[in-house]
Amino acid sequence: MRSTLKEAIVETRSTPLENRPRLPRKALSKRNRAVVGALNPMLVTYLEASWDLCETDSILFGAALAVCRTIAKVALSQHGEEELRNVSQRLELSSAD
């Protein structure tokens, strides 16, 4: 997650405001809150080193981008696990016939 944060901040710093990606709206589920909670302590280092408002903006936008990317990865991996379970169950049922 730290590498995702760092990559997102670097990407945001080098992207003009008008070219930044739009951030999707995310529900405040337990999983999403856990991602934000895990990322928050990592922001301290970046925010303490911030020297102006533009830098702070890049850090916060980068953090939001990192949260969205992490949530998407978690959702994909959980969907993959669920899909795998469904396939396994179907295979078990077909072999029982």
Per-residue confidence band for 48, with pLDDT thresholds at 50, 70 and 90: very high
Q: What is the pLDDT of residue 53?
A: 94
Higher per-residue pLDDT: 78 or 67: 67
Q: What is residue 24's DSSP assignment?
A: P
| Tens digit of each residue's pLDDT (9 = 90 or more) over 4-38 | 999 999 999 999 989 998 998 888 888 888 889 99
Question: Which residue range forms the structural domain that includes residue 11?
Answer: 2-18+28-96
67 lies in a domain? yes
Structure pTM?
0.74
23 lies in a domain? no
Per-residue confidence band for 95, with pLDDT thresholds at 50, 70 and 90: low
| Type of residue at 40 | N
Structure tokens at 42: 């990592």
12 lies in a domain? yes
72 lies in a domain? yes
Per-residue confidence band for 2, with pLDDT thresholds at 50, 70 and 90: confident
Domain count, the chain: 1
Q: What is the pLDDT of residue 31?
A: 86
**Cα 6 to Cα 43: distance, rounded to the nearest angstrom:** 10
